[in-house]
Amino acid sequence: MSRIGKIPVKVPGGVKVTFQNDEMFVEGPKGKLKQKYHPVISFEDKGSEIVVSRQNEEKQTKAFHGLYRNLLNNMVTGVSTGFSRALVVSGVGYRAEVQGKLLAMSLGYSNDIYVAVPDGLSVVVDQGGKITVSGIDKQRVGEFAAQIRKLRGPEPYKGKGIRYDNEIIRRKVGKSGVK
C-alpha cells in the first residue's frame, strides 16, 4: 500500500470538502479550490478526516493514490493556512518593489523588469530585499516564485542574484593573480 496514500487527511474546523463528478472541492476561510481526480481513487469522509483508497493494485493506481492524497492535503492546508515562498534579492543596486499588480525589479540589466502578479497570489517586498509570494494554491505559489528566481539566478562567485530564503549557494573561489 502507498505509504503516503494510507495516511488520512486531517480536515480542520471551518473547511468543507466535497466530491462529485470526479472533482474534489475544498472551501475554507481563505478561499475555494477544485481539482479533478482519476476514478480509480475513492475518498471516504470520516468526520474530521478523509481516508483515500484505491480500487486495484496496478502500479499507476498506486501512484495516483499517493498523488491525490497529497493534492487533497495541500488544498486543505491552502484554504486554512495558505502557502508562502520567500526569495532574497542580493547584489549592489539590485532591488524590488510592488507597484499595484506589478512587481518591478532592478537586477543589473539595462532596463527594469516588470512582472504581473497573477490573480489569487499576493507579493510583499520588505526593506531588506526579501520578496514573499503567498496564496492558497501551493503549485501556483511555487511556480511564480520559480519564475521570479529565473530572472536573475544566483551566481556562485559573489552570490548576487535572486535566491530562495532557505537556499544555500555554494561559493567558488575566483581567479588567483599570476606573478
Q: What is the pLDDT of residues 148-174, one digit of tens each?
A: 999 999 999 998 999 999 999 999 988
**Whether the predicted model's global pTM rises above the 0.85 cut:** yes
pLDDT tens track for 104-146:
999 999 999 999 999 999 999 999 889 999 999 999 999 999 9
Written in H, E and C, the secondary structure of 57-120 is CCHHHHHHHHHHHHHHHHHHHHHHCCEEEEEEEECCCCEEEEECCEEEEECCCCCCEEEECCCC
Average pLDDT, the chain: 93
Instruction: Please report which confidence band the pLDDT of residue 175 belongs to, taking 50, 70 and 90 as the band edges.
Output: confident
Phi/psi-derived region of residue 107, left when phi > 0, alpha when psi is between -120 and 50, beta in every other case: alpha
Give me the pLDDT at residue 99, please.
Answer: 94
Give me the pLDDT at residue 174, please.
Answer: 84
pLDDT tens track for 46-83:
989 999 999 999 999 999 999 999 999 999 999 999 99
Give me the pLDDT at residue 50, please.
Answer: 94
Whole-angstrom CA distances from 18 to 7, 21, 171, 172 are 19, 10, 49, 52
Partnered with residue 77 across adjacent β-strands are none
Q: Which domains does the chain have, with CATH numbers?
A: 9-80 (3.90.930.12), 83-164 (3.90.930.12)
Cell of 30: 481563505
Handedness of CA 14, 8, 45, 48 (dihedral sign): negative
Handedness of CA 52, 58, 60, 62 (dihedral sign): positive
Whole-angstrom CA distances from 66 to 1, 12, 106 are 9, 21, 42
Task: Check: CB of residue 162 under 8 Å from CB of residue 89.
Answer: yes
